[in-house]
Structure 1
Amino acid sequence: MANQRQYLEWHGQQWRVRVKVPARVRDLIGRGKLTHPLHTADLKDADTRKWPVVSRLKGIIAAAEKVLATNDPLEAEALRHRLSSDEEDTQFAIRLRAEQIEETQGISPAHAFFDLASRKVTPLDHHAAEFLKHQGYRMKSEGDFRRVLGWFGAWLRDSRLPVALEAVRRVDAGKFLAESLMVGRSRQKATAYLGFIRQYWTWLLDKGHLPAGENPWAGQKLPAERRQARDAETDKGKRPFTDEEVTKLLSGDGGPLLNDLMPLGALSGMRIEEICQLHVSDCRDEMFSVWAGKTDSARRTVPIHSGLKEIVKRRTEGKKDSDYLFADLPPIPKSRETRSDPAAKQFTRYRRKVGVDERPNEKAKSNVDFHSFRRWFIRKARDAKLAGAEGFDEWTITWVVGHTDSERAKSLDLSQHGYAGQDPEKAKRALVEAVKLPS
């Protein structure tokens, strides 16, 4: 049950909000706690009223932390004034300082300082923490969002434009995409970054943090890619490994970790993070149990291929149920939430070393990666079915690899799920055993 008294204290026969100020910003804010009366003696009513106030007070703390984080001395000075800009003497000091800046640096920096210090405009990332809490992004996506917002702020500074939410015009957004976001990045990655910043502005408008109006990012499109020259290599994008590549990878020595990880990826069709998250208890009764993954459909069981039994036995013997199957991976640091990153990087180095790579036209990322084992598994299962393998059907493939089948016609979906029930385990096993490593 939620604690009703969280952020509340009894004061003067009524409840008030109380938010502790972190020690690192107490000198800036000038006090050890921030309070605000709620004008009610009813605890339940106070619990309901407190959250907007808590959000506002935490915004003050975030603004103080922004002062410490910025590398721009003038911006830091403006943000310091902003913390107490409601006071009359502070407003006088802001105007006086803006006049001094105009004399020494020009009118544009002076206006930017005055607007920021007097709260006429809002820093780009002022509401970023609240936005991230609302979106519930995973750590990687959160990092991508903060990254693109930082790039945009740096571009605005370099372009001598106000680094403020209210000042962003549609023309500025378009120029940023062409001059910065697309430089040195694939179109796919740039599109993802554009999506983050567009969502941020949509949320700002929805929550009333910006005056109602047009979203400068809505409808923005990335510049068209240059057409390939006549002599350019054909690039069909990400693909499965060929049998020859699988043979080359599995016959080499990738070390204890990869020598077990690669066959498991090839003969289970699991994603690398799903494999690296397996515990000893998830490898019982000749089944891998996947409890979480990229989508809701990722939660499933996968029969342990006969070619993997020796690896599983060796890695589970004498271990506790709570131990990881691949215990030789380092602990997850606070900077990420995926356990498989070191394994993926080690595989990339090994793959390149043995000459398995495909980067047409010197593209940044290869068309083959560890996920190509999963693609290879799916292709081999399909090929086996087309060649007459029995005991499984096309539905079985989606359940083994954890793909959604919601796109199918509802009548078929109902007949398979509603009446026939889940695909029997023997069908899954038939499919897995139909996949053979190249000899």
Structure 2
Amino acid sequence: MAKSSRRYLDLRGLKYWFKRDIPASVRIHFGGKSAYLVNLETGDIRAAMVRRDELKRETDKLFQDARAGRFSAANVDSIQALAEAWAREAEEARRDPHGWTAKITGRNPAHVEDHETASPSDFIAEEAERIERSHGEEGRDRFLNLVQGRVDVGHHVDAYMREARLAANTKRERKSLILRFADWAKLQGKSLPEINRALAGRYFSEVIAPLHPQTAKKHIGSVKLYWDFLIARGHVAGANPWEGQRLPDRGRRVERGDEKDERAFTEAEIKTLLYSPYPPRMQGRFKQQLHDVMRIAALTGMRVGEIVTLWVEECPFADDGTGYFDIRQGKTAAAARRVPMHSDLLEIVKRRSKGKGPQDWLFDELADERDPGDVFGKRFRQYRLKLEVDDVQPGKRRSLVNFHSFRRWFVTQAERAGVPESTISSVVGHEEGRRSITFGTYSEGPAWQQMRACVDAVNIPGRA
């Protein structure tokens, strides 16, 4: 490396310092000092060169102002100068990530791949730590607020993703949800430091609250965890504005399957749906998804929204090899429950859980959908109609069979096996079966063994 490229750089021990002589004519404004010194807090020559170039521009302006008599040493605002310099770097990195990466690494921009682009956030964080050591937390917060006055909400999301210990699918989903809020904030003309509790609450009401409860839970969790990271790294100050944001109690909503005339699938229809050759004009990538969801629905009575939004950690296994589905919230108080995992479903859950983290989706291919239950419902309807499983009666707008018919089929099979109504209600998350004074007030619900026996009593008919 040419000696001239190290101009103003002084290696002291393991760290580079910026050292520039102060012109004699303006030294009086700098307390008589002959040199302007800044510890760059890095031993990486490339990183040091980036900071060196910014400090050169900063000191050029300081010396120019001193000659013009526009300041004295007492009012030199080095924090503001640094913040403005780093804000320019962040803006340059945003506009041209390849060019900016090439600048700090000394590489040809044409040779920088997308996954190799650097982020100025790491350098800004290091500068903030240095300022904290010299100016305390107040100086650090002021520096970050000045820098982030031009930084979008999503500016630090890549740094967060690098640190987050998540499976690839979960990272993709979480980043998508965070950037969705970042795009909303940009449309409102709001930068990162301007996001307060009122704005977070407005976004929650406008965008998150109308979503399916499971999707809404993942959305609020994503932005909240991102903000925890921002606070921990000093990128924002104050309390987390997402803390305490709660989904509204919508009360009980009438479901598609609640209409009186809709019915359970017949045994023949179940066989058709589960064993027929896959329709040739449907996308083949949906085949496994459809068959997995249908089997879970038939052997648990769970709702479609409950199934397709399951996290891996909501499908745990016990030491004896049995498992259960942990439904943590739903449309009624009774909807939050644990459903024993039928032995015929163990393979599906183990296959779909393999290689995933606790908060990865079991059906990860639906993770990026705004309303995964609705998307899957339309997909299933197309599949059902292609197999001619339909029951449209005169005067009826909808078919008497739909995905909810799996839930009706499960309840019917459990009842025919002699399972008490109160136990079936606990398994499928219905309040109706436990509304008597005896069960609703005095009983704590059926034993786990009774609920498992209910699930085990239902079996999918064979092909023959």
Query: Is the TM value for this pair above 0.5?
Result: no
What TM-score, normalized to structure 1?
Answer: 0.41
